[in-house]
């Protein structure tokens, strides 16, 4: 095998959903945008559907259309970006539920699909998507008359439980929605962990399903094993990789593995990253290049056939720390060249 193997544990994924679901007394949906956070939306969503998920969230209507073809007519599929120009046929044909973000989107939806389901997204301080309070006040009665399936907003700082933005957004969301008689949703993974005040009628976890922070008790979902192409001896004073950034200080054995930044292994993690052979950590040496990475395997008893980048010893968030980024980017950057293996 000349390319890495990404193993995706669908049982672990569903266990994470069940664990998050058990923390609430409301409905728990699932966010499967960005091709199921890079792990394959079709396989991920089918597994979650079998586990009991009846409502999914995606970023765009195109993602919703693909998901509908995979899941059939049963589950509700909500579209965060709302009803964009050119989306009308997809929304209608695939029975998607857009989360309307503006007066423009509301007008488009009501004129083109007056009897089709819709939700409303409100901006409570993140300043990313949704109607601001004044806009919502002017459109609320019209929207309520047509019966939204959900009113939602999104927390900006839920990964920091002590951040003052959390209670501030909660208070504004209540102010904008209390007494309207419409199901409400404020929380993704981080909001679930903040407690029941943030749960309302529906929670919509994303990254926690896939083993990422802030859900520290998540079961790991991904394992990435990368084959070794060649192993060579390097003498003290010799360098490895571009620009001579690593120079051997002892006689070393260096394995060249078959992956690089073209496979989503972020170049910036460089020599802060480690791989594992069984329980033994092996350090990345030199720069990560497009298709290859050098790894110091001097301390292994024998030459390895492959090395593990993700698994029980190293999570997506550990890698993210090495790259100066977040686990979301590690997950969604998983390379198209990887052989994918699903277990359940």
For 211-270, how does the pLDDT look when each residue is reduced to its tens digit (9 = 90+)?
Answer: 999 999 999 999 999 999 999 999 999 999 999 999 999 999 999 999 999 999 999 998
Residue 172 has pLDDT above 70, yes or no: yes
Set out the domains of the chain in order of their start, with CATH numbers: 10-210 (3.20.20.10), 222-343 (2.40.37.10)
Burial 280-317 (b: 16+ CB within 10 A, else e): eebbbbbbbbebbbbbbbeebeeebebbbbbeebbbbb
Per-residue pLDDT at 115: 94
Cβ atoms of residues 48 and 220 within 8 Å: no
Predicted pLDDT of residue 271: 79
The catalytic residue among 37, 210, 242, 342 is 242
β-partners of residue 5 are: 225, 339
Using DSSP bridges, classify how beta strands 5-9 and 293-296 pair: parallel, antiparallel or unpaired.
Answer: unpaired
When the pLDDT of each residue in the chain is averaged and rounded to a whole number, the result is: 96
Active-site residue flag, 338: no
pTM value is: 0.94
Task: Give the burial string for 205-219 (b: 16+ CB within 10 Å, else e).
Answer: bbbbbbbbbbbeebe
Alpha helices in 23-164 (DSSP H): 33-37, 41-51, 61-71, 88-93, 103-112, 133-146
Residue position matching structure tokens 């509700």 = 76
> How many residues are recorded in the chain?
344
pLDDT tens profile 7-52? 999 999 999 999 999 999 999 999 999 999 999 999 999 999 999 9
End-to-end, the C-alpha distance of the chain in Å comes to 23
Active site residue 242: yes
């Amino acid at each position: 095998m000349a390319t890495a193997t990404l193993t995706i544990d669908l049982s672990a994924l569903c266990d994470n959903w069940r664990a998050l679901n058990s923390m609430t007394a409301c409905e728990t949906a699932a966010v499967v945008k960005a091709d199921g956070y890079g792990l394959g939306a079709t396989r991920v969503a089918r597994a979650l559907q079998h586990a009991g998920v009846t409502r999914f969230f995606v970023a765009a209507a195109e993602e919703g259309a693909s998901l509908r073809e995979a899941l059939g007519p049963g589950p509700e599929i909500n579209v965060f970006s709302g009803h964009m120009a050119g989306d009308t046929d997809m929304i209608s044909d695939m029975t998607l539920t857009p989360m309307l973000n503006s007066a423009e989107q509301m007008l488009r939806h009501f004129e083109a699909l007056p009897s089709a389901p819709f939700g409303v997204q409100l901006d409570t301080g993140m300043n990313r998507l949704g109607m601001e309070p004044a806009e919502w006040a002017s459109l609320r009665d019209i929207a309520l008359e047509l019966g939204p399936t959900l009113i939602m907003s999104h927390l900006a700082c839920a990964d920091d439980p002590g951040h003052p933005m959390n209670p501030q957004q909660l208070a504004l969301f209540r102010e904008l929605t209390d007494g309207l008689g419409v199901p409400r949703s404020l929380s993704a993974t981080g909001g679930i962990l903040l407690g029941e005040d943030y749960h309302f009628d529906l929670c919509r976890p994303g990254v926690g399903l896939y083993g990422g922070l802030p859900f520290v008790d998540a079961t790991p979902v991904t394992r990435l094993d990368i084959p070794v192409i060649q192993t060579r001896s390097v003498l003290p004073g010799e360098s490895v990789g571009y620009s001579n950034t690593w120079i051997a200080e002892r006689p070393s054995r260096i394995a060249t593995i078959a992956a690089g930044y073209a496979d989503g292994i972020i170049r910036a993690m460089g020599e802060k990253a480690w791989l594992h052979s069984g329980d033994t950590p092996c350090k990345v040496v030199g720069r990560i290049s497009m298709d290859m990475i050098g790894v110091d395997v001097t301390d292994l008893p024998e030459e390895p056939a492959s090395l593990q980048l993700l698994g029980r010893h190293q999570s997506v968030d550990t890698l993210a720390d090495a790259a100066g980024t977040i686990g979301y980017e590690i997950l969604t950057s998983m390379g198209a060249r990887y052989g994918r293996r699903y277990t359940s």
